[in-house]
DNA sequence: AAAAAACTTTGTATCGTTTCAAATTTTAAG
DNA sequence: CTTAAAATTTGAAACGATACAAAGTTTTTT
């Protein structure tokens, strides 16, 4: 039913091997080239990657594991990865793991059954156990945004501790001494690092830090911020340490009528697009999403070509 | 390098055909069954779907085309689709088309080269031309959330006009006579229908309708709402007709200090999770995301099994 | 205990593509 | 115009899994 290379062969009077050569960049006599191209158009040929991958052991497809399709920071990274890989003629298979390690494990198997050439994962936990079936088969794996305990996979992350520390220091230096930090799930290395950075800064500068768990969601950020603001009317600053929580916290601020000025500072994380428009004067820690995605893609391709495991730490910008 | 069915054959002393039979549910003698299962565990066998699909012409994989990975309504639908298809043991390949018909076209080819069994698309435009290469090959296609001009593909949409009309009527009935509607891109059937519904309701009930284009983004919704509120201080209601714009509009409301009460009504679209918490008293038009995803999946599977093209219209809830 | 029936396993061909050595054609050199 | 060298094309054998008819078991019936 589908048009195959054999149909092209019949149509052109050539052999399947020649058509294949044409597709793979070998030189083909001009008049044959033309015949082939005409036949492709006429029959609407689309190459069957399954057969190709079966023969070549390369699918030109890489798998992406995302913890939540509803988390805009992650979907943003996927977009960057796609951009980078498209240029190298790689396609993507995206799997939503719902922050569930068992789905992650299943997804890894699914990707392997599709013989992807490598996997980029934004890990749902610090444990790499769900990735083992890939690692065991020497399939290149890059973890993005969060560390795992495995030494066999590459990591591309930001210096979370430092970024959080700097952001906190900046608030303290501007005279905001009592600050609430809305932090994410402590099960994640990334969240712990950010909180640790805040604590460091507060300890060094003699500030008062109120930590409030925001559960990695807009709702959680909203509620945590509300709580902090109600319980500490004398609060001088708020720092939300991820995308979703930053939005929630911003709404809470608006609702409590808090102005951002010399008496109150607000720092968010990662949402450059909307928040600064809505809360002029706020600060923002920005992970270099473009670079993260690009470097993860590059690292994976290097591993596919036999390169070593790499651990890369990028810096955040604060604006 | 990868473990194949032949390795299992060698390990168990059986034949590839028997192992295949085992995987495909044929009956196998208990002691052979055990041997096979031991070998699978020992060698870590994962079936090569490429080879299988090549032989069977069924990949048990379906493709999903999403216009923007950053649009939460769409990602929510994908999650529902995934849920429904997982139960039928289908896997998903998700492609982000960036609302760009040419990427859509490319993605359709990519999916075909992966021999997906069918495609669910949330169309970026009313035109189905980018889907033609699939339709021409009799590959089942279901359009979700928006109509296309093609009669060869199934559609699963909501009754947009009616939902918008009802929501508007409700506001009018509560005495809000001057209402601004923040509407989406008129290039999309869905947006036009919603706007038409609002106009209908206003015309019938003698209300005043101010239409403001919000460009399908949070930012756009925010700006359009701001504009409407500033230019019409006597406004009595606001209706944002999609997810992103509803959030933007809500922020604008908060910023302008508008209360939701008998003097001012606010109706949003699709974001049940956060907005009602932040704006108590507001109304919301809810598309049945779960049902949309489930019905789209079901319709596609029916088409894969030779079923006919279907056009299904679901109703929205208003809360 | 032999024959029949029912169940399992096996060989072999095949899916659509690429590989690679061998065969053929073209071009360049003498 | 021959012949050597270079460039194209070809045929057959993979890749990993499944289909199917044929062969080999086991179980049941007589």
Within 7 A of a protein CB, which nucleotides of strand D? 7-12, 14-20
**Which are the contacts of B83, defined by CB distance < 8 A and separation ≥ 6?**
B293, B294
Q: What is the pLDDT of residues A225-245, one digit of tens each?
A: 988 888 998 889 999 999 889
Region A190-219: mean pLDDT is 89
Optimal mutation site among B278, B281, B282, interface A, most CBs of chain A within 10 A: B278
> Confidence band (pLDDT; 50, 70, 90) for B124?
confident
Mean pLDDT within B244-253: 87
Return the HEC string of chain A.
CCCCHHHHHHHHCCCHHHHHHHHCCCCCCHHHHHHHHHHHHHHCCCCCHHHHHHHHCCCCEEEEEECCCCCHHHHHHHHHHHHHHHHCCCEEEEEECCCCHHHHHHHHHHHHHCCCCEEEECCCCCCCHHHHHHHHCCCCEEEECCCCCCCCCEEEEECHHHHHHHHHHHHHHCCCCEEEEEECCCCCHHHHHHHHHHHHHHHHHCCEEEEEECCCCHHHHHHHHHHHHHHCCCCCEEEECCHHHHHHHHHHHHHHCCCCECCEEEEEECCCCCHHHHCCCCEEEECCHHHHHHHHHHHHHHHHCCCCCCEEEECCEEC
**Chain A residues 86-115 within an 8 A CB cutoff of chain B:** 91-96, 98, 109-110, 112-115
Protein residues bordering strand C (Cβ below 7 A): A 2, 4-6, 16-17, 19-21, 23-24, 45, 47-48, 51-52, 54-56; B 13-18, 21, 26-29, 32, 51, 54-55
> What's the farthest any 2 CA atoms get from each other in chain A?
84
CB contact under 8 A, B219 and A273: yes
| pLDDT score recorded for residue B276 | 73
Nearest nucleotide over every DNA/RNA strand to the A3 CA, judged by C1':
C16
Q: What is the mean predicted confidence (pLDDT) over A298-312?
A: 94
Chain A residue numbers touching B96 (CB-CB < 8 A): 78-79, 82, 94
Q: Look at the alpha carbons of A84, A87, A93, A94 in this order and tell me if their dihedral is positive or negative.
A: positive
What is the number of other CB atoms lying within 10 angstroms of the CB of residue A35? 19
Q: In angstroms, how far is CA A50 from the centroid of its own chain?
A: 27
Tell if B51 CB is < 7 Å from nucleic strand D: yes
Distance from CA of A197 to the nearest CA of B (A): 29
pLDDT, residue A269, reads 92
- A76 vs B70: CB contact, 8 Å cut-off? yes
What is the rounded CA–CA span in Å between residue A189 and residue A193? Answer: 6
Rounded to whole angstroms, the Cα distance separating A269 from A241 reads 5
**Per-residue pLDDT for B13 more than 80?**
yes
Q: What was the pLDDT predicted at B168? A: 93
Question: Nearest CA of chain B to the CA of A59: how many Å?
Answer: 9
> With b meaning 16 or more CB within 10 Å and e meaning fewer, what string describes B39-71?
bbeeeebbbbbbbbbbeeeebbbbbbbbbbbbb
Contact B83, B293 (CB under 8 A): yes
What is the distance between the terminal CA atoms of chain A, rounded to a whole angstrom?
57
The pLDDT tens digits of the residues spanning A126-156 come to 989 999 999 998 999 999 999 999 999 999 9
In this structure, the strands spanning B178-183 and A154-158 are unpaired
Interface mutation target, options B59, B113, B116, B139, chain A, most CBs of A under 10 Å: B113
* Distance from the A154 Cα atom to the nearest Cα atom in chain B, whole angstroms: 21
Which pLDDT band holds residue B164 (cuts at 50, 70, 90)? very high
Distance A93 CA to D16 C1' (A): 21
The full set of domains in chain A, from first to last, is 5-47 (1.10.260.40), 59-152+289-318 (3.40.50.2300), 160-286 (3.40.50.2300)
Strand A141-144 and strand A118-121: pairing? parallel
How do strand A208-213 and strand A237-240 relate by DSSP bridges?
unpaired
Mean pLDDT of chain B: 91
Nearest nucleotide by C1' from B4 CA?
D16
A interface test, pick of B44, B111, B274, B304 with most A CB neighbours within 10 Å:
B274
Which pLDDT value is given to residue B1? Answer: 65
Q: What is the pLDDT of residue A114?
A: 86
The answer to whether strand D lies under 7 Å from the CB of residue A14 is yes
Is B151 part of the contact surface with chain A (CB cutoff 8 Å)?
no
Q: What is the pLDDT of residue B279?
A: 79
C-beta separation of B185 from B191 below 8 A? yes
Which pLDDT value is given to residue A40? 95
Question: CA A17 – C1' D11 distance (Å)?
Answer: 9
Find where tokens 């982000």 sit: B96
Rg (CA), chain A: 25
pLDDT at position A86, please?
86
Residue B4 predicted with pLDDT over 90? yes
């Amino acid at each position: 039913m589908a048009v195959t290379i054999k149909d092209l062969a019949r149509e052109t009077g050539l052999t399947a091997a020649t058509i294949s050569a044409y597709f793979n960049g070998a030189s083909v006599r001009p008049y044959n080239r033309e015949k082939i191209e005409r036949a492709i158009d006429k029959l609407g040929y689309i190459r069957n990657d399954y057969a190709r991958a079966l023969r070549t052991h390369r699918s030109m497809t890489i798998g992406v594991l995302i913890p939540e399709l509803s988390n805009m920071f992650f979907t943003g990274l996927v977009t960057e990865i796609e951009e980078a890989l498209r240029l190298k003629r790689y396609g993507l298979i995206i799997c939503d793991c719902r922050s569930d390690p068992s789905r992650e494990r299943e997804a890894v198997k699914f990707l392997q059954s599709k013989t992807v050439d490598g996997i980029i994962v934004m890990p749902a936990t610090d444990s790499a156990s769900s990735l083992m079936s890939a690692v065991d088969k020497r399939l290149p794996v890059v973890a993005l945004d969060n560390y795992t305990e495995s030494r066999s996979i590459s990591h591309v992350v930001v210096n979370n501790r430092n970024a959080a520390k700097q952001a906190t220091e900046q608030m303290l230096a501007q005279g905001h001494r009592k600050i609430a930090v809305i932090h994410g799930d402590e099960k994640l290395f990334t969240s712990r690092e950010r909180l640790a950075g805040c604590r460091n800064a507060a300890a060094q500068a003699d500030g008062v830090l109120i930590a409030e768990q925001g559960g990695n969601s807009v709702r959680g950020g909203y509620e945590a911020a509300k709580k902090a603001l109600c319980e500490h009317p004398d609060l001088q600053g708020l720092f939300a340490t991820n995308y979703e929580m930053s939005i929630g916290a911003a709404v809470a601020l608006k609702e409590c009528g808090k102005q951002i000025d010399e008496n109150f500072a607000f720092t968010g994380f990662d949402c450059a697009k909307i928040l600064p428009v809505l809360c002029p004067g706020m600060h923002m820690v920005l992970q270099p999403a473009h670079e993260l995605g690009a470097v993860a893609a590059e690292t994976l391709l290097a591993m596919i070509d036999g390169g070593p495991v790499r651990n890369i730490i990028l810096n955040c910008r604060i604006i």
